[in-house]
A and B are shown apart, each in its own frame.
Chain A
Amino acid sequence: MQKFTRLTGVAAPLPMVNVDTDKIIPKQFLKTIKRTGLSEGLFYELRFDEDGNKKGFVLDQPAYRDAKILVAGENFGCGSSREHAPWALLDAGIRCIIASSFADIFYNNCFKNGILPIALPQEQVDLLMDDAERGANAVVTVDLETQEITGPDGGRVQFEIDPFRKHCLMNGLDDIGLSLQKANKIDAFEAKRRQEQPWL
């Protein structure tokens, strides 16, 4: 997994609430057996009309083509557990999403892919949304180490993050490798379980 330490880039505004994972990547793109190349389907129905013509979606506008940060409305990523949603965002260059709240599974999936989801109070999201509206000038820096966002005018906002998730993201750690180091504890748990609950 790619490390996340400090990110500077254009922030794109997506002022919609309840952006669900079907909206982030519709089902026809879930038929892949790979993790890559999914940006093609990112926000597909918001980006393309029925004839496949671009509709001028924010990430297709010249100012936001290289956006690395997305600022969105509350309950971002609700719905399905599809990890294709963060894969598609990552494939399109998005490394950080800022919203007032996230759905649990999506939030979790981001961390497995080197994406930092930041939940902030609505007023702060509103200010960053205003910043993001400035097009190519909407350059924002996100520092995970200091847990601080710096806006285009130098305004700073602190954010909260679970310390273990921060540690894994900053070091690009493989969760499975970490858990396999606890194999003896898993062995002991299973042995006890076989005794106490032999039907399992």
Chain B
Amino acid sequence: MSAGRTLFDKIWESHLVDRQDDGTCLIYIDRHLVHEVTSPQAFEGLRLAGRQLRRPEATLAVADHNVPTTDRSAGIADEESRIQVETLIRNCADFGVPYIEVDDPRQGIVHIIGPEQGFTLPGMTIVCGDSHTSTHGAFGALAFGIGTSEVEHVLATQTLIQQPARNMRITVEGARPPGTTGKDLILAIIGKIGTAGGTGHVIEYAGRAITDLSMEGRMTVCNMSIEAGARAGLIAPDQATFDYIKGRPMAPKAGAWEQAEASWRNLPSDPDARYDKEVTLAAAEIAPQVTWGTSPEDVVPVTGRVPDPDSAPDEGKRQAMERSLAYMGLTAGTPIGEIAVDKVFIGSCTNGRIEDLREAAQVAKGRKVAEGVQALIVPGSGLVKHQAEEEGLDKVFMEAGFEWREPGCSMCLAMNADKLEPGERCASTSNRNFEGRQGRGGRTHLMSPAMAAAAAVTGRIADVRELVG
């Protein structure tokens, strides 16, 4: 009898178009998301070679990285940003790609709108010229980021040349403690395995703390798989997955739905499936997490202190720590809870969904943003924004002194006007604390939306558990 197969094995094998003798595979791509930053050169390549799109209907485009989050009625002020968005519009028109307009209520971050529209379904292969494509793995879809040359390859052939990944399982056992979220789980995981811990692997997340998460929380976990170096993250689809998808605009309709759901129920890994690497964490030991340095693996609990470079395992790491501390303007031994912030950013494909805004609003309600702190709320999509407004969250935020913005990637990577000034410190719900990521000289501390809201109202990094009991 053959060995059990993992969720990854099942998706991989069902998408094999061809396998060469040298092991190189051609795999079929079901869905392709496109945004304005990584696609212009791909469309240009198609034009130069006189090639067409193989399946425009399996492709969905939206502008998200460059769009302003303030009033958009006057268009995009920055010329290069505007040209990039206009180029996407023209490419989509020329090649017949469905495009969601900037003023469409469905516009938003590509990884938020895919699931919202039911474009993302279990068992699929999904790609995008964006590393956070791993987000869609929350639905049990094999989803990964690709470069622009591969974007062009998918546009032309609906396939990719790939080598199979190895299987890794990360199990978070037990119930998630109060005050912690999917963000805290994934930060703790990255802190444990490091930013190269998942290299060459697809990570399957399992255990009660994972399966207890809502789809929003699962997306946050899978989103940051790339920060652990993994090619993709996966969570087995279950009833929560199906309930989320059912009725969405592009989800299978009645009749086809039953057939689809029956097929998706066969996707979870077999009980005897084998993994190349296994890691286990106890949820009970996870407190709200904060990054102190310039790599997502630089994680400490909010109750901890800025670490000492002399505690590094080797010289390379010690130098990296020294460099991080200098960049971050921090001294070893400082309690995390004493670090004051200048800005707060709540949003991004990691934490720009409705549940994230609800959690932040719970902290913001009846409080005020601390003096001297600028706090932005950037919903992940127009639909998230609308939902939040229906629930009155916008009023909660505005009464507390937060700015309520239009959807987009915003200060996660600061390609639009939202950015940090040199030396400014930010409590951010985004995914990368790299040097310069949120603006040259900007200092980023990654954390959950509730923790970021707590930082906004206290003016420093604060333990949200002390604010919301």
Band of interface residues on B: 35 or more
8 Å CB contact of A109 from B22, B30, B37, B147: B147
**B80 / chain A contacts, CB cutoff of 8 Å:** 31-32
Our pick among A31, A75, A80, A176 for the contact of B195 (Cβ within 8 Å) is A75
Residues of B near A79 (CB, < 8 A) are 131, 226, 432, 434
Which 6 residue pairs spanning A and B have beta carbons closest together? A112-B149, A199-B252, A31-B80, A33-B40, A83-B147, A109-B147
Q: Which residues of the other chain, B, contact A137 by a CB distance below 8 angstroms?
A: none
**B229 adjacent to A75 (CB under 8 Å):** yes
Interface residues of B in 122-136 (CB under 8 A from A): 124, 129-131
With known contacts A18-B195, A109-B147, A80–B51 Cβ distance under 8 A: no
Whether A16 is near chain B, meaning CB under 8 Å from some CB there, is yes
User: In the bound complex, do residue B146 and residue A105 qualify as a contact, i.e. CB atoms below 8 Å apart?
Assistant: yes
As a 0/1 sequence over residues 157 to 200 of chain A, the CB contacts with chain B under 8 angstroms (1 = contact) are 00000111000000000011011101101100110010001111
Partner of B156, one of A80, A81, A180: A180
Question: Could you say which residues of chain B place their CB within 8 Å of the CB of A74?
Answer: 196, 316
Pick from B147, B259, B317: contact of A108, CB under 8 Å: B147
Given A33-B83, A81-B147, decide whether A50 and B440 contact each other with a Cβ distance below 8 A. yes
A23 is an interface residue with CB less than 8 A from chain B? yes
> CB within 8 Å of A: which of B301-327?
316-317, 320, 323
Question: Nearest Cβ in chain A — how far from B26, in angstroms?
Answer: 6
In the bound complex, residues from chain B placing their C-beta under 8 Å from that of A183 are 157
- For B229, list chain A residues within 8 Å (CB): 75, 78, 103-104
B387 within 8 A of A: no
Contact yes or no, A180 B157, CB < 8 A: yes
Contact A75/B199 with A27-B415, A31-B81, A112-B147 known, Cβ cut-off 8 Å: yes
- CB of B56 closer than 8 Å to a CB of A: no
B325 nearest CB across to chain A (Å) = 15
Contact A189 B149 (CB under 8 A): no
- Chain B residue numbers with a CB within 8 Å of A20 are 295, 432, 434
Chain B residues near A147 (CB-CB < 8 A): none
Do the beta carbons of B147 and A182 come within 8 Å of each other?
Answer: no
Task: For A179, give its contact among B23, B121, B157, B432 (CB under 8 Å).
Answer: B157
Q: Is B216 an interface residue (CB 8 A)?
A: no
Interface membership of B98, Cβ < 8 A: no
16 examples of A-B residue contacts, CB within 8 angstroms: A18-B196, A20-B432, A28-B415, A50-B440, A103-B229, A105-B146, A105-B226, A112-B147, A176-B152, A176-B156, A176-B157, A179-B153, A179-B156, A189-B17, A190-B158, A200-B124
B436 proximal to A (CB < 8 A): yes
A-B contact count (CB 8 A): 179
User: In the complex, A75 Cα to B263 Cα: how many Å?
Assistant: 38
Residue B140, interface by CB 8 Å: no
Q: For A101, list chain B residues within 8 Å (CB).
A: 196, 199
Decide yes or no: A189 and B157 within 8 Å by CB, A73-B316, A182-B17 being known contacts: no
Further pairs besides A23-B435, A180-B156: 12, Cβ < 8 Å: A20-B295, A20-B434, A23-B436, A27-B414, A32-B80, A33-B40, A82-B37, A105-B131, A164-B24, A164-B161, A186-B157, A200-B124
Contact with A along B128-171 (1 / 0, CB 8 A): 01110000000000001111111011001111010100000000
List residues of chain A with CB within 8 A of the CB of B317.
17
Name the contact of B199 in the complex, choosing from A16, A104, A190, A199 (C-beta under 8 A).
A104
Interface set of B (CB-CB < 8 Å, partner A): 17-18, 20, 22-24, 26, 28, 30, 37-38, 40-41, 44, 49, 51, 54, 65-66, 78, 80-81, 83-84, 87, 121, 124, 129-131, 144-150, 152-153, 156-159, 161, 163, 195-196, 199-200, 226, 229, 231, 252, 256-257, 259-260, 263, 295, 316-317, 320, 323, 413-415, 422, 432, 434-437, 440-441
CA gap between A30 and B38 in the complex, in Å? 8
> Footprint of B on A, CB under 8 Å?
15-18, 20, 22-23, 26-28, 30-35, 45, 50, 73-75, 78-83, 86, 101, 103-105, 108-109, 112-113, 162-164, 175-176, 178-180, 182-183, 185-186, 189-190, 193, 197-200
Q: Is the CB–CB distance between A179 and B316 below 8 Å?
A: no
Q: Which one of B41, B66, B263 lies within 8 Å of A31 (CB-CB)?
A: B66
- Smallest distance from the beta carbon of B93 to chain A beta carbons, Å? 15
A33 to B226, CA, bound (A): 25
**Interface pair A30/B415, CB less than 8 Å apart:** yes
Task: Give chain A residues whose Cβ lies under 8 Å from the Cβ of B20.
Answer: 164
Contact B161 A175, beta carbon cutoff 8 Å: yes
CA distance A75 to B197 in the complex (A): 10
Q: CB distance A113 to B17 under 8 Å?
A: no
Of B65, B84, B130, B149, which is in contact with the most chain A CB atoms at under 10 Å from its CB?
A: B149
Contact indicator A75/B157 (Cβ below 8 Å) = no
| Cβ-defined partner of B259 (8 Å) among A109, A190, A199 | A199
Bound Cα distance A176, B38 (Å): 17
- Contact (Cβ within 8 A) B196 A78: yes
A108 nearest CB neighbor, chain B only: B147
- Report chain A residues within 8 Å CB of B84: 31, 33
Contacts known (A73-B316, A163-B22); A33 close to B435, Cβ less than 8 A: no
- Minimal beta-carbon separation of B233 from chain A (angstroms): 13
Chain B residues lying within 8 Å of A103, measured Cβ to Cβ, are: 196, 199, 229
Name the residue among A15, A50, A75, A178 with the largest chain B CB count within 10 angstroms.
A75
Contacts of A35 in B (CB 8 A): 41, 148
How far apart sit A199 and B263, CA to CA, in the bound complex (Å)? 11
**Cα of A182 to Cα of B83 in the assembled complex, Å:** 36
Residues A26 and B159 in contact in the complex (CB < 8 Å), given A18-B195, A33-B83: no
